[in-house]
Amino acid sequence: MNMDSELTNELKELAETFFFQSINGWKHHAKASGLSMPQIHLLMSLYHGDKLGVNEIGGRMEITSAAASQLIDRLVNAGFAARCENPDDRRGRTISITEKGRAFVEEGAQEHYRWLNDLVAQLHSGGREAVHAAMKHLLEAAHAINCRTHSCPQYIRPAHDIHGEV
């Protein structure tokens, strides 16, 4: 096996590990709060600055407007989201995240990042330096590909947006 194939396989294994840890962390956080994963997904969209209408939420999540309304109702009733008048169309409403919802997302992110801190702590100092140098190259390449193929989607944010560090 050549080095490119080995590196690709190692990156796949790392991505699968990160994905598993991330999904399990959010599932645990959601279960502890009584929220579903679709509700978490919606909260994350709202957290990243979007004020969305019901139809737009349904379209983004690939669900019907009726299903989106049910998700929204549960988040509003739990105090995680609020309905606001749409300044562009007074007949419509937009949905935004509340401070309680914002705190919930940040708490879940902190739990997830705790695992990353533990991972870094497992590396000896030389290993940390080598991984740090490699990560700079990987992130540059990933951002370049994402911006070229997806017009720099909004979900790609600097790391300090959720956990306060860069």
49 in any annotated domain: yes
Tell me the sheet residues that pair with 96: 82
Nearest to 155 by CA among 137, 143, 164: 143
Residue 26 lies in a domain: yes
* Boundaries of domain holding 99: 3-122
Beta-bridge partner residues of 85: 93
Assigned domain for 162 exists: no
Residue 28 lies in a domain: yes
**Over the stretch 45-71, which tens digit does the pLDDT of each residue have?**
899 876 788 888 888 888 888 898 899
Burial (CB < 10 A; 0-12, 13-18, 19+), residue 91, is exposed
Give the number of other Cβ atoms within 10 Å of residue 135's Cβ.
11
pLDDT in tens, the chain (166 residues): 788 899 899 999 988 998 888 888 888 888 888 888 889 889 988 998 767 888 888 888 888 888 988 999 999 999 999 998 777 776 778 899 999 999 999 998 888 788 888 888 999 888 899 999 998 988 888 888 877 776 555 544 444 444 445 4
Reported pTM = 0.69
Domain-located, residue 164 = no
- Which tokens is 82 given? 């609020």
Q: Is residue 165 domain-resident?
A: no
How many separate domains does the chain show? 1
Looking up residue 8, the CATH number of its domain turns out to be: 1.10.10.10
Q: Is 69 part of a structural domain of the chain?
A: yes
